[in-house]
Amino acid sequence: MTIQWTTLMVIIGCALVTMIPRVLPFIVVRNLNLPESVLKWLSYIPVCILTALVVESLLIQNEDSLQIDWQAVIVFIPTLVIAIKTRSLSITVIAGVIMMALVRYFF
């Protein structure tokens, strides 16, 4: 299989554009002592991102309305209970994936 030079450069460029905004903040902040208020504010970011991902997956956007994805809701509730009980990301993800597979298989 051959690849054109321009295609390879586009792939490398996309990788850099994707990686730089994710890595650069860690490099810049690594050696800084941030104020306590900033650290507290930053601690909410993972919760906000997770909430946005979960809510986005529970809703289906049609042309002019939002609908609830009931399959996702059926899986979300027990997955949330598992997450609260185990406090383990890997167990929660595995359980959620298995439950979603079962719901999609049977419904």
**How confident is the model over 49-81, as pLDDT tens digits?**
888 988 999 999 888 899 999 999 999 999 999
How many domains does the chain divide into? 2
One DSSP character per residue, 10-48 reads HHHHHHHHHHHHHHHHHHHHTT----HHHHHHHHTHHHH
Same-domain pairing of 86 and 50: yes
Q: Which two tokens stand for residue 105?
A: 């298989």
pLDDT of residue 78: 96
Judged on CB neighbours under 10 Å (0-12, 13-18, 19+), 79 is buried
Residue 87 has, within 13 A of its CA and on its CB side, a CA count of 0
Domain that holds residue 18: 1-32
Same-domain pairing of 26 and 38: no
Q: Decide: pTM greater than 0.85.
A: no
Same-domain pairing of 42 and 83: yes
Cα 18 to the center of its chain, rounded Å: 15
